[in-house]
Structure 1
Amino acid sequence: MNCKLVTSTLALGLMLAAPAVAQEKFSLMLNWKAGGDHAPLYYALSQGWFNDAGVDLEIIQGNGSGAAATALSVNQVDMAIIDMPTALQFKGQGSDILGVFVAYNDSANGIYWKKSSGIESVADLPGHKLGAPASDAARQIWGPIAEAIDIDPNSVEWVNIQPTAKVAALQSGAIDATTHMYSVHFIYEDVFGDDLGFALLRDNGLNPYGLTYFTNGTVAAGKTELVRSVVHVTQKAFEFCLTTPEPCSHALSSAVSMKAADAARELEYASKVIPGEGNTLPIGAFNPERVAQDYKLVSEAFEITAFDPATAFTNDFIDTSISYPKQ
């Protein structure tokens, strides 16, 4: 046999056997169980984009922004998705966390009620029962919310319920209103129909950043290139899924055993608040002025140690060439 042919065949075999990029483990905790806004992550995983970038990504299901912030603060995970006000509260309590990617440029928090309860608008909430877990993101900033909608924060009665019991509690009349993320808006539409009343906070005077990807100082310094790769792949995935949602919702439903129709509708509604109204920044990038406004909101609502809001985020990991699709 020709020696050159043998050598070439062996070289080709070695090239095919060797991985294109050495992969390093990296863990990401979700803010909650996987939903529509996480579809880009699962699509990128299904396409091998993270692997191609050298990232062996582990996605960990979450149990609320507070739990995700706690896990990140004590180095249990490399990155976590956290509601921005919650993250700033943790930062003000000494956590060394750092925002690297904005998922929801507009607040996805909304207030839901039944019109048959006598509530026609948020102005009618006083005297009624609102239900949510004590750790609910919107409940945590109820003071600023009440101020924005011009009601006394003490004029409503809060009832503690489980996160998964909101719709049932509202349906049964155990509560008159609740707070929820806009990505599941369709569930309320299906259950309550014409009896549904709703207000999105961004349309009622309060629009902090919503879900945001955070890392911490240790990871940012020690795994800099991994963080950069995760952010770049996530940007690319968000860009794709905002223009081509079907394969992304399919990847989500396949990965977490969610009904395909539910995954598609969750992504549809999440996509309405992900880009942000009038936002011209690259995908995932922070506006320093908005972060400063969010810091003011949090510092007035909670007892925190003052800090420079510019230290709570960085745009250094953002690929500025990746933009939101034109709306």
Structure 2
Amino acid sequence: MELHTSRLSRRPALAAAVLVPLGLAACGNRTVTRTDGSTTTVRFMLNWYPYGEHAPFYYGAEQGIFEEHGIDLRIEPGQGAAKTTQAVGAGEVNFGWADTPVVLGNIDNGVDVKSIGVFLQTTPSAVQFFADSGIDSAEDLAGLTIATSAGDAPTTTFPLFLEAAGLGAGEVTEQNIDPAGKNSALITGQVDALIGFAHDQSPIIAEASGKTLDSISYADVGLNFFSNGLITSGAQIAADRDIVQAMLDATSRSFAAAREDPEAAVAAMRGKDPQIAEPHVLLEQWNGTIDLLTTENSTSDVPGTNTEQDWETTISILADAEMIGADGSLEDYVDTGFTPAT
């Protein structure tokens, strides 16, 4: 893919997840800075309420990793990647955790954010179904009804999944369902399968239904793009690059530590949110996340280290899905001056 240096055209409509009214800009950009030896309070917003993928942040805070990097981390739940992205861009919080397709689409629409390190480098997007459904391969999806949610990354890229799997759009029936209702739709038999993030949803559905789930990942058919990662505002980068680097380094170290001791990482989440799942569900979610931290192109085992090749692939796929403009460059979306310390 050729990366152009021009700014992206402002597309009037991309995905629904990008079109949440900004309404935050009036808050102004509030940034954080620090002096040597000081500890700075940093507000950090998740993409959703806490689930297993977020264990490294709680573990890193508990183990003093963020404090060692001069950060007093204040973790806040989110209400979706779009709202998190826009809260970061408006300066309501200093850093966020958000899905890359949503982040890039919001950048196209003028939100002042940059990716500074993607951690889920293999997409968790997948078609999920009960293991006893008789589905053994992507070809078996033909003729089935699959729950989708308009505007999210798995749904918007679903046509590319079907193409990669050798299926035509008319070979499956898509039933648009609100994200909150998709799990129930599968459990009650309203649909044969659903698409979403398997590392998060499948353990929850299994817990609620008492049945084993299976899935076909988009990456299984050769379609891979970046997912959740660390973002901050352009204003924060301009105000203090050192604290941005410190946040990235502490996050990377926390992910590495949580990967080494999953049980302890999940235990650090206990009691942190009234909506949090049972520990065994959180553990399954975190173990599923570990499998997503690298790609076949990864040149480093340090979490959050991205390759230009994977970024190019991501930008190309999202442009093909019309989630972002066709003329975006790497520099439009990423501050490449930040790399996790080894």
For residue 63 of structure 2, what is the aligned residue in structure 1?
47
For residue 280 of structure 1, what is the aligned residue in structure 2?
299
Number of residue pairs the alignment of both structures matches:
301
- Cα deviation code 1:226-262 (max 9, x no counterpart): 2111111111111111111221110023323532222
Instruction: Specify which of 205, 216, 222 is matched with residue 233 of structure 2.
Output: 216
What is the distance in 2 between the residues matched to 1:177 and 1:71?
33
- Cα deviation code 1:117-141 (max 9, x no counterpart): 6644322334432223324320122
- Cα deviation code 1:42-80 (max 9, x no counterpart): 011123332343223222212222222232333332222
Say if 1:93 and 1:305, in contact at 8 Å, map to a contact too: no
1:65-144 aligned at under 5 Å gives the runs: 65-114=81-130, 119-144=135-160
Structure 2, unpaired ranges of 5+: 1-35
- Look up the equivalent residue of 1:287 and give its one-letter code: T
1:187-198 aligned at under 5 Å gives the runs: 187-189=204-206, 191=209, 193=211, 196-198=213-215
Tell me, yes or no, if structure 1 residue 319 matches structure 2 residue 335.
Answer: no
What is the distance in 1 between the residues matched to 2:82 and 2:174?
19
What is the distance in 1 between the residues matched to 2:252 and 2:308?
19
- Cα deviation code 1:273-320 (max 9, x no counterpart): 123346232321111111111111111211626221243223433234
Tell me, yes or no, if structure 1 residue 309 matches structure 2 residue 330.
Answer: yes
Distance 1:241 1:217, change over 3 A: same
For the aligned residue pairs, the C-alpha RMSD in angstroms reads 2.5
Say if 1:208 and 1:290, in contact at 8 Å, map to a contact too: yes
What is the distance in 1 between the residues matched to 2:111 and 2:308?
20
Say if 1:30 and 1:59, in contact at 8 Å, map to a contact too: yes
For residue 314 of structure 2, what is the aligned residue in structure 1?
294
Distance 1:154 1:60, change over 3 A: farther
Say which SS state the counterpart of residue 254 (structure 1) adopts.
coil
What is the distance in 2 between the residues matched to 1:319 and 1:64?
25
Say if 1:104 and 1:212, in contact at 8 Å, map to a contact too: yes
What is the distance in 1 between the residues matched to 2:249 and 2:148?
35
What is the distance in 2 between the residues matched to 1:53 and 1:114?
44
1:160-199 aligned at under 5 Å gives the runs: 160-184=176-200, 185-189=202-206, 191=209, 193=211, 196-199=213-216
Instruction: Specify which of 132, 145, 151 is matched with residue 167 of structure 2.
Output: 151
Say if 2:121 and 2:226, in contact at 8 Å, map to a contact too: yes
- Look up the equivalent residue of 1:283 and give its one-letter code: P
Distance 1:180 1:307, change over 3 A: closer
What is the distance in 2 between the residues matched to 1:57 and 1:148?
41
For residue 19 of structure 2, what is the aligned residue in structure 1?
none
Instruction: Provide the TM-score with structure 2 as the length reference.
Output: 0.79
Structure 1, unpaired ranges of 5+: 1-19, 322-327
- Look up the equivalent residue of 2:318 and give its one-letter code: V
Distance 1:240 1:231, change over 3 A: same
What is the distance in 1 between the residues matched to 2:119 and 2:46?
12
Say which SS state the counterpart of residue 253 (structure 1) adopts.
coil
Tell me, yes or no, if structure 1 residue 236 matches structure 2 residue 253.
Answer: yes
Shift of 1:99: 1.1
Say if 2:47 and 2:81, in contact at 8 Å, map to a contact too: yes
Distance 1:182 1:118, change over 3 A: closer
Distance 1:277 1:307, change over 3 A: closer
- Look up the equivalent residue of 1:300 and give its one-letter code: D
Tell me, yes or no, if structure 1 residue 266 matches structure 2 residue 285.
Answer: yes
Of 59-68 and 251-260, more deviation after overlay is shown by 251-260
Say if 1:129 and 1:159, in contact at 8 Å, map to a contact too: yes
Distance 1:149 1:126, change over 3 A: same
What is the distance in 2 between the residues matched to 1:102 and 1:53?
20
Distance 1:142 1:66, change over 3 A: farther
Greater C-alpha Rg: 1
Structure number with the higher helix fraction is 1
What is the distance in 2 between the residues matched to 1:272 and 1:168?
26
